[in-house]
Chains A and B, each alone.
Chain A
Amino acid sequence: MSSPLKHWKAALFRHETILLAVLLAEWFYFDSVGRRFGTLDNTFDILRHSSEIGLLALVMTPIMLTGGIDLSVGSLLGLCAILFGKLWRDAHFSPGLAAACTLGIGAIAGGLNAGLITRLRLPPLIVTLGTYSLFRGLAEAITHGVDTFTDFPASFLALGQERLGGLPTQAWFFFAVAIAIWLLVHRTTFGRALRAIGYAPEGARYAGLPVERRLASAYILAGVVAALAAIIYTARLGQAKADAGTGYELFAITAVVLGGTSIFGGAGTVHGTLLGVATIAVLSNGLVHARQPREVAGMLTGALLLFALASGEISKRLAKFRARRHAPNPAVPVPAPHSQ
C-alpha cells in the first residue's frame, strides 16, 4: 500500500502551493502599499534583476537533488565575467565569440568541481568552498583587482538592457533555461537518476545508474549556466569586474530551499525553485516600494526561509504521524525521515 508514499507526495505538493500563496499574498500586499508596484515596468524590473540569480538557482536545483551543493557559482560568475571582458577587449574577439568561449570556460570550471567530487569522492560542500575562494581569487589575480572592462558595443548591451518582443531580452534566455532544466529534471531519465542518486547513492549504483557521469554532468551544467549568467550580468551592468556576483550563491541556495528542495537530496522541483526565486525577488522589490530599508528585506528573507523549513518539517512529521495511525500493522514499515 502506498499510503505513506501518498502522504509524502502530498506534503511536497502542499509546499509549493503554500509558497504560491505566500507569493500572491506578497504581490497583493505590495500592490496595495506601493503606487507603482503592480505596473508592467516594475514587473520587468523584477525580471531583469533576478535573471542571473534565477539562472544560478535553476542550475543549483539538479545539484541539490543529488544531495550535493555548489558554493562556487557566484565566484565563477565573477571569473567568467572578467574573462569575457578580457577576451573581448584584449584578444579582440567579437562579443559572440567571446561569449561562446566563456561558456566553454564555465564548463571547464564546472568540470574541475565535477572531477574532484566524482573522481575523488570528495564532499561537494568542501570542494566548492575551495573553488569559491579559488575562482574569486583567480578573478582578482587576473585583473590585479583593479582592471574592469567597459564600453561594450550597444548591440551586446541590448542583451541586458533592452527589450525583445515585449519582454526584457534576458528574460527569454531565463525562460528558455528554466524550461530546459524543468524538462531535464522532471521528464528525462537523467532527472530521475539525479533524484535517485540523492535519495540513495549506493542504491542507485547497485541499480546500474552511471552515478559519476550524472553527477559530473550536473556540475558541468552549473558551470555553463554560471557563465551565461555572467554574460547577462555584464550586459545588464555594462561593466565586468572581479567582484561580480559576490554573494549570489547564498541567494540561489535560499531560493532552492525555499522552493521545497531538500538539502539532503532526493526531493525537490524546478517549479518550486522558480517560485522561490520569485518570492525573494518580489519581496526585495516590494519592500523598496513600501519605503522600507534594505536591511528589512534581508531579515524577512532569512525569517521566511526558516519558516519554510520549519513548516516543511512539521508537515512531514504530521504526515508520518498520520501514516502510523492509518497503518498500525507492524508488517507495514513506516519510512524513516530521510537524513544523512
Chain B
Amino acid sequence: MLGKYFRELSVAAVLVVLLLVLAIAAPAFFDAQPLFSRLARDTPTLVAACGMTLVILCRQIDISIGSQFAVCGVCAGMLAAGKAPVFVVCGAPLLIGAALGAINGALVAGLRLPSIVVTLATMVIAREGLRWAQQGAFINLPDGLQWFGLAQRSGQCALIAFALLLLAAMAWAMRHLAGGRFVYAVGSDAEAARLAGLRPQLTTFLVFVLMGALTGLAALMNLAQSPQVDPKSGTGLELKAIAAAVVGGVAVSGGRGRLWGVFAGVLLLACINPALTYLHVEAYWEKAIQGAIILLAVVADGMRSRKAREA
C-alpha cells in the first residue's frame, strides 16, 4: 500500500516536515485566529483544485478559471448589492460558472479543439470583457452577507467544513460512482473507453461544466469572507490549482491521481507564502520556491516512472 500511494504520501511528508520546522522556528504560525483565517481563505483554492483534478484526469486543462472566478464574483456581488434574495446570490455564481464551463466544454468535447488554446481564448475574452465593463471598481456588499450572517469564527469553520465535505464527497464519487470511474477511463485511453461503450465526449463536456460550477462556488465562498468584491480577485487561480494538482500527484498525461494528494498539494503550496512571513524570509523568494517545488514534484514523478520503465 505504501508503494501504491507513495506519491501522495511523499507530498504529505514534505508538508509535515515544513509544519515541524514552523512549529519549532515560528510557533505563532499555529495561533488559532490567523490559522482559521488562512484556512478559510484557502478553501476557494481547494474547491478549484478539486475541479481542476477532474479536468487534468481527463487529459485536458483549463486555464480560464481565474477569469471565470472574477466574473462569477462580480455578478454575485452586483446581485447582492442590488438587494437580490440570498438564494439568487448563492445560485447565480454556480450557474454562471457552469455556463462558462459549458462553453469551454462544448468547444473541447464537441469540436475536439485543444483545451489549452480554447481556455486561453476564453480566459482572455472573459478577463478583458470584465475589465471593460467593471473598470476595476470595487463592489460594496450589503451588511449581513459576510459569513452568510454567522459570526466570524463560525463562518470560517463552516466554510472549512464545507470544503472538506466537498473534497470527501468528490473523492468518494471518483471511486465509487460510475461517473467517477468514467473520468479515469477517459483520461487513460479515450479510444478504449469509447469502444467499451463510454461516451468520452460527454464525460469531457460534463467535467468542464463541473469545473465551471466549482469555480463559481469558489467565488461565492470568497465573496462570503469580505464586505467587498475586488474584480481582480481570482488572478492566478488557475496556476495555483494546476500546481496543487501536479504537486499532489495528478498526472498530466491523464488517468492517474487522487484527490487527497491534491489536498496535500493545496496545503503545501498555501503554506509557502505564510511560512516566508513567519520565518522572516524576504518576499521575493516566493515565486522561485513555488517553481522549484513544482519542478521537484514533477522530477520525482519522472524518476519514478523512469525506474519503472527500466525495471
Contacts and interface: CB of A to CB of B under 8 A. Distances in A.
Do A and B come into direct contact in the complex, CB within 8 Å? yes
Interface in A149-198: none
A38 to B, nearest CB: 26
Interface string A247-286: 0001001100100001110000000000000000000000
A302 B104 CA distance: 13
A18 to B, nearest CB: 17
B290 A137 contact: yes
A295 B282 contact: no
B288 A295 contact: no
B120 A254 contact: yes
B287 A136 contact: yes
A144 B253 CA distance: 36
How many interface residues does chain B have, given as a range? 35 or more
A254 B109 CA distance: 20
B195 interface: no
A296 interface: yes
Nearest to A242: B284
Contact of A263 (B117, B121, B289, B298): B117
Given A295-B128, A295-B129, A339-B112, A121 B302 contact: yes
Contacts of A127: 295, 298
Task: Label chain A's interface by main secondary structure.
Answer: helix
Contacts of B286: 137
A125 B117 contact: no
A335 interface: no
Contacts of A143: 284
Contacts of B112: 313, 337, 339
Nearest to B290: A133
B121 A133 contact: no
A73 to B, nearest CB: 15
A140 B253 CA distance: 31
A138 B306 CA distance: 29
B256 interface: no
Interface in B188-240: 190, 239
Interface stretch (A7-15, A46-54, A211-219, A304-312): A304-312
A242 B185 CA distance: 43
Interface of B: 59, 61, 107, 111-114, 116-118, 120-125, 127-129, 131-132, 190, 239, 242-243, 246, 252-253, 282-292, 294-295, 298-299, 301-303, 305-306
15 contacts: A116-B299, A120-B302, A121-B306, A122-B302, A125-B61, A130-B295, A134-B287, A140-B288, A250-B124, A262-B114, A263-B116, A298-B125, A303-B121, A306-B118, A309-B114
Given A302-B120, A302-B121, A309-B113, 4 more contacts: A127-B295, A134-B291, A253-B116, A263-B117
